Amino acid sequence: MGSNRLYDATLRADVPGPSGSAHLNNLRFWMGQVDYSRKRLASYGDVPVVGVTLGNGSIVAVRGSAATKQVLGDVTTFEHLSDGPLALPTGQPYSTLFDATATLNGRRNVRSRKLLLPIMHRSAIHSYEKIVIRNFERSPFARPTGETFDLVAELDRLTNANMLACLIGLGDAEAELSERVTQLLVATMDPRVFLFRFGRRTPYGRWLRLVESVHRDLSALIDANRDAEPRVDALSILCHATDEDGRRLSTDEIVGELHGMLASGYLTTSVTMAWAMIALAGGHAQDELDSVIKETQRLMPTVPMSLPRRVMRDVDIQGTWVPRGALLFLSTYLEHRNPKVYDRPHEFDPTRWATVKPTPFEFFPYGAGARRCLGAAFAEMQLRTTFELLLQTGVPELLSTNLRHHMTGGVVAAPRGPVMMRMHPPGTAVRDSSAVLERFWRSLRRDGPGGRRGRS
Ligand code: HEM
């Protein structure tokens, strides 16, 4: 829509929702999507659309698999956000930095997905596996010496190294660049930046300098790789790719795609691995790995409320009218706790995956349909390879006793603060952390008005 406003608080919709000021509620939701959902949205269980504020159409969430399916199946009406915080000043060298698969819509999204497909091909994923093994072997997870470390920081380093080497063909020396991309993502989604767009010594001014520096450094990287021998990583593939008219991509197009991949793939993978690692340290065998990962993604989806959509026309969602211009989220976090699909939905129980078979609209940690996560296979390979090696290496022990989460980068729910652990030699008996984990899963239960009435 070209606007740099995230939402329009004057939009009306006949939706249930919590009372209060739309501006304040929107801000609370944006800063704490999980807590707002479980405390204030969960009780409206059976409606297809719930407002972040009663009767207000500025930010809404869809509920139930029928509404979820409708939104995911109609990429024309429900476009990925490309305005609001993502609107960059025009006429600058960096103006298209945010143009990438996740923010482009229509034919430009299809073209961009096509360009990136070779990077996610099975044979490419297979070749990345060797790099993931090598990076694991260099990490503290591979040393069962009882040394204490922060699993969040170490997984961050590990996934950064995997991402850089596999997808960009770079070594650890460039780790700072992808860290800067993540800093930029977090700053872009910070209300102090997108609500107050002025000044040079302000959060906005600092953000703009970060935009410039990321654009400049990615452009230099591409210029240096344009004429290098072809490799299987994204940087090389994009530098050598031609579009349907046989035209090579411009440096700015490649900058956008590389930035997009780093922004979509690094924090999400590192945080998903952190939640799964925390769950695994509760004591699980190799043959439970798949179901522990799935159960963790069910109860703590890293992207708990999907990427935001802009509603492009007035639309009827399963009987509720939603106005053009609304910002819409899918309620991954709440749908993954739907009692009609999951028995004892708030309990962490990996064994449920032997019998429960949710549809793609009832379990969707990577989204579903035409805009499903492009990096899911790469992320899953990293999770499985790393954790299989970890469980062969020794016994993980969780040392932190107080687990909490926070929202970062606008869409990601990450562990808050350091989470300490250590690795012991195989066969070591370690302290039982199940009570710590149990307390954490319980803290994520809904505790709003509907929760107290026990409606789900
Ligand atoms: C465990 C790690 C990951 C999780 C949980 C995750 C999750 C997601 C989710 C929920 C979406 C949006 C779905 C929607 O709202 O419709 C998405 C989109 C996307 N992801 Fe991932 N992601 C992960 C890793 C990656 C990696 C490693 C990459 C790339 C290298 C990547 C690239 C993308 C791209 C390009 C999109 C946009 C697709 C489109 O809009 O057409 N992701 N991801």
Q: What H or E segment, with its residue span, contains residue 395?
A: strand 395-398
Q: Do residues 65 and 335 make contact, with C-beta atoms less than 8 angstroms apart?
A: yes
Q: Do residues 81 and 325 make contact, with C-beta atoms less than 8 angstroms apart?
A: no
Residue from 76, 264, 361, 387 to probe ligand 1 pocket by mutation (most atoms less than 8 Å from CB): 264
Residue 11 has pLDDT above 50, yes or no: yes
Residue 451 has pLDDT above 70, yes or no: no
CB of 218 shorter than 6 A to ligand 1: no
Please give the distance, rounded to the nearest whole angstrom, from the Cα atom of residue 265 to the centre of ligand 1.
6
Residue 405 has pLDDT above 70, yes or no: yes
Atom 21 (ligand 1) nearest CA? 373
What does the pLDDT look like over 225-264, one tens digit per residue? Answer: 888 888 878 888 889 888 777 888 899 999 999 999 999 9
| 3 state SS of 149 | strand
Please give the distance, rounded to the nearest whole angstrom, from the Cα atom of residue 387 to the centre of ligand 1.
21
Helices (H), 117-202: 122-137, 151-163, 175-188, 191-194
β-strand partners of 405: 415
Q: Work out the pLDDT band at 447, boundaries 50, 70, 90.
A: low
Atom 41 (ligand 1) nearest CA? 371
Q: Work out the pLDDT band at 454, boundaries 50, 70, 90.
A: very low
| 3 state SS of 411 | coil
| 3 state SS of 251 | helix
CB of 113 shorter than 6 A to ligand 1: yes
Residue 2 has pLDDT above 80, yes or no: no
CB of 306 shorter than 6 A to ligand 1: yes
Considering Cα of 241, then 86, then 207, then 273, what sign does the dihedral take?
Answer: negative
**4-8, 302-306, 449-453: the lowest-pLDDT one:** 449-453
Q: Convert 242-272 to b/e letters by CB count within 10 Å (16 or more is b).
A: eeeeeeebebbbbbbbbbbbbbbbbbbbbbb
Please give the distance, rounded to the nearest whole angstrom, from the Cα atom of residue 376 to the centre of ligand 1.
7
In this prediction, residue 218 carries a pLDDT of: 93
In this prediction, residue 96 carries a pLDDT of: 95
Q: What is the rounded CA–CA span in Å between residue 60 and residue 57?
A: 6
Beta carbons within 8 Å of 390's beta carbon, 6+ residues apart = 136, 141, 142, 277, 280, 396, 423
Residue 45 has pLDDT above 80, yes or no: no
Structural tokens at position 150: 């922060």
In this prediction, residue 287 carries a pLDDT of: 82
What does the pLDDT look like over 347-356, one tens digit per residue? Answer: 999 999 999 9
Question: From the alpha carbon of 272, which atom of ligand 1 is closest?
Answer: 1
Please give the distance, rounded to the nearest whole angstrom, from the Cα atom of residue 345 to the centre of ligand 1.
25
Mean of the per-residue pLDDT values for the chain? 92
Give the rounded distance of the alpha carbon of 200 from its chain centre: 30
Residue 449 has pLDDT above 60, yes or no: no
CB of 367 shorter than 6 A to ligand 1: yes
CB of 110 shorter than 6 A to ligand 1: no
In this prediction, residue 161 carries a pLDDT of: 92
Please give the distance, rounded to the nearest whole angstrom, from the Cα atom of residue 269 to the centre of ligand 1.
9
Residue 212 has pLDDT above 80, yes or no: yes
Comparing 196 with 45, the larger pLDDT belongs to 196
Question: From the alpha carbon of 103, which atom of ligand 1 is closest?
Answer: 40
In this prediction, residue 282 carries a pLDDT of: 79
Atom 8 (ligand 1) nearest CA? 366
Q: Do residues 66 and 93 make contact, with C-beta atoms less than 8 angstroms apart?
A: no
Q: What are phi and psi of 362, to 5 degrees?
A: -115, -20
CB of 80 shorter than 6 A to ligand 1: yes
3-state secondary structure 288-321: HHHHHHHHHHHHCCCCCCCCCEEECCCEEECCEE
CB of 109 shorter than 6 A to ligand 1: yes
Q: What is the mean pLDDT of residues 43-59?
A: 94
Atom 37 (ligand 1) nearest CA? 102
What does the pLDDT look like over 74-105, one tens digit per residue? Answer: 999 999 999 999 999 999 999 999 999 999 99
In this prediction, residue 230 carries a pLDDT of: 86
The percent of residues above 90 in pLDDT, for the chain, comes to 79
What residue type is 207 in one-letter code?
Answer: W
Which bin fits 287, alpha (ψ -120 to 50), beta or left (φ > 0)?
A: alpha
Q: Do residues 42 and 16 make contact, with C-beta atoms less than 8 angstroms apart?
A: no
Q: What H or E segment, with its residue span, contains residue 215?
A: helix 203-225
**Which of 327, 323, 304 has its CA nearest to residue 52?**
327
Residue 446 has pLDDT above 70, yes or no: no
Query: Which domains, and CATH codes, for the chain?
Result: 22-453 (1.10.630.10)
Residue 151 has pLDDT above 70, yes or no: yes
